[in-house]
Chains A and B, each alone.
Chain A
């Protein structure tokens, strides 16, 4: 489903974030990406979503070469991915419902059909009762759950989560992980970057460990 072949990424200024990375992710797999901060976890996820482009090697998603993707095709790639950010990237000028509605507006959904999907997504992350609230009124864990609701409302086959439990206490982190687990059970492919040892101990899944831009065996 996702494959990296000898991928390297250097940022302007010469800093090598990723060196010669090769791995594959099968459909329906839940994969953990671990390593210290600065090890290249975020960069790796950004390459999959075409937020960054590789300097060498081949990144492909569903057989599509992401390194060579035309900029006009990037929106359609991203609509098939659910992106979950450590800093949530919510919009504070609108309520929960409208935040989750945004991807559907972008994809050109009919409003009534979209509203059903938004409520289903909010229900899944336990925020349905607060659809009229504004994100500013939410706790950190709730904001992260809202971000997940926005990522899944399009029903993407692949979810990419960058440090989703980064700033959360253990309880909130566990509730987030339970949500991910339920997606895994219905067949979604998940790529979760984390350095939280508790989570890695508790949840089973293949691990990729990055160290200074290189994949550890």
Chain B
């Protein structure tokens, strides 16, 4: 057991030495892997951020109904009852015009402006929560409500969010495809690097086999190399993302300040970061495994 551990330690040191013996090509390889990985990861982060933004804006779809200014209390209770009994509506919230004005003052800080008004310009409103999330049903419901008398203006708030979500779904698919393609590229890069190493070490492999090396003994240093190279590539990708997000947030800071908002791009979560590193290490290992196994298979079946 101890000698087994010692051997692994020895192989790990040997791997680092080998990375150092050709620093430029090692560095370039790691950089290529890093850039390849940072593309889908960056796309993923942007999508996460847009998703977070849209979640913050509107959760569930809702229809706002603004009543005419001359609607009286009886009519309001009549409408409330009718809306609550409607088959397509789960519940209804009534927003009196006084409350709407208060909310407006609180949320936008326009106290000065609204305070100067002679009278409340806002109408009574209903916020209608439909049962269905389906965009078609929502639009049908909106058109039906539009037909009711005294319903001055009917607005389906979440329509654009749902369009955004469809767009996000498309974006996620695109990122997924990109990730899969670049994963293949990463495996191919490692495969080729290891193949070149095998070519320069063909004699060592041949002699080792002749004096009793098992296949796993021969594979081990190459697998370590692939693993370490993948891991370093993943770390590079992580650094690229971190630096890019930092730069983007600086210029974004200026922009959002103009809109009196405090939005900044979120970085990868620790879990996502760990996944990135594990995945890149795994792909490097896989590329190395395929490369050595192919070589061993070729020499054995000769």
User: Which residues in chain B, 184-214, are within 8 Å of chain A measured between CB atoms?
Assistant: 203-204, 206-214
Cβ distance A110 to chain B, nearest Cβ, rounded Å: 5
Residue pair A105, B7 in contact (C-beta under 8 Å): yes
**What 1/0 mask marks residues of chain A from 82 to 109 whose CB sits below 8 Å from any chain B CB?**
0101000111010000000011011111
Q: Does A130 contact B (CB under 8 A)?
A: no
Residue pair A75, B7 in contact (C-beta under 8 Å): no
Q: Does B2 contact A (CB under 8 A)?
A: yes
Q: Count CB-based A-B contacts (< 8 Å).
A: 54
Residue pair B211, A111 in contact (C-beta under 8 Å): no
Residue pair A111, B212 in contact (C-beta under 8 Å): no
Point out the residues of chain B lying under 8 angstroms from A93, CB to CB.
204
Contact of A75 among B10, B214, B300 (CB under 8 A): B214
Residue pair B6, A106 in contact (C-beta under 8 Å): no
Residue pair B7, A51 in contact (C-beta under 8 Å): no
Q: Does B259 contact A (CB under 8 A)?
A: no
Q: Does A207 contact B (CB under 8 A)?
A: no
CA distance A105 to B217 in the complex (A): 9
Residue pair A111, B210 in contact (C-beta under 8 Å): no
User: Which residues in chain B, 207-226, are within 8 Å of chain A measured between CB atoms?
Assistant: 207-214, 217
**What 1/0 mask marks residues of chain B from 1 to 40 whose CB sits below 8 Å from any chain A CB?**
0111011001000000000000000000000000000000
Across the interface, name the chain B residue whose C-beta is closest to A73: B214
With an 8 Å Cβ cutoff, the count of chain B residues facing the other chain is: 19
CA distance A107 to B213 in the complex (A): 8
**What 1/0 mask marks residues of chain A from 133 to 172 whose CB sits below 8 Å from any chain B CB?**
0000000000000000011001000000000000000000
Residue pair A89, B7 in contact (C-beta under 8 Å): no
Residue pair A83, B210 in contact (C-beta under 8 Å): yes
Point out the residues of chain A lying under 8 angstroms from B211, CB to CB.
78-79, 83, 102-103, 106, 150-151, 154
Known: A89-B206, A89-B207, A91-B203. A106 touches B3 (CB 8 A): no
Interface class of chain B by DSSP: helix
Contact of A51 among B3, B203, B208, B210 (CB under 8 A): B210
Residue pair A103, B212 in contact (C-beta under 8 Å): yes
CA distance A76 to B209 in the complex (A): 11
Q: Does A71 contact B (CB under 8 A)?
A: yes
Known: A108-B7, A110-B6. A72 touches B214 (CB 8 A): yes
Residue pair A71, B2 in contact (C-beta under 8 Å): no
With an 8 Å Cβ cutoff, the count of chain A residues facing the other chain is: 27
Across the interface, name the chain A residue whose C-beta is closest to B200: A93
Residue pair B213, A106 in contact (C-beta under 8 Å): yes
CA distance A19 to B208 in the complex (A): 30
CA distance A102 to B210 in the complex (A): 11
CA distance A76 to B217 in the complex (A): 12
Residue pair B212, A108 in contact (C-beta under 8 Å): no
Point out the residues of chain B lying under 8 angstroms from A154, CB to CB.
211-212
Residue pair B207, A76 in contact (C-beta under 8 Å): no
Residue pair B212, A106 in contact (C-beta under 8 Å): yes
**Residue from A78, A106, A107, A150 whose CB has the most chain B CB atoms within 10 Å:** A106
B interface residues (Cβ-Cβ under 8 A, vs A): 2-4, 6-7, 10, 203-204, 206-214, 217, 300
Q: 25 A-B Cβ contacts within 8 A?
A: A49-B210, A72-B214, A75-B212, A75-B214, A76-B212, A77-B212, A78-B211, A79-B212, A83-B210, A83-B211, A89-B203, A89-B206, A89-B207, A91-B204, A91-B207, A102-B207, A102-B211, A103-B211, A106-B213, A108-B3, A108-B7, A110-B3, A110-B6, A111-B6, A150-B211
A interface residues (Cβ-Cβ under 8 A, vs B): 49, 51, 71-72, 75-79, 83, 85, 89-91, 93, 102-103, 105-111, 150-151, 154
Taking A75-B217, A89-B203, A103-B211 as known contacts, 16 extra A-B pairs with beta carbons closer than 8 A to each other, sorted by chain A number, are A49-B210, A71-B300, A76-B212, A78-B211, A78-B212, A83-B211, A85-B210, A89-B207, A91-B204, A93-B204, A106-B208, A106-B217, A107-B212, A110-B3, A111-B6, A151-B211
Closest 10 CB pairs of A and B: A78-B212, A79-B212, A75-B214, A106-B213, A75-B212, A103-B211, A110-B3, A108-B3, A89-B207, A106-B212
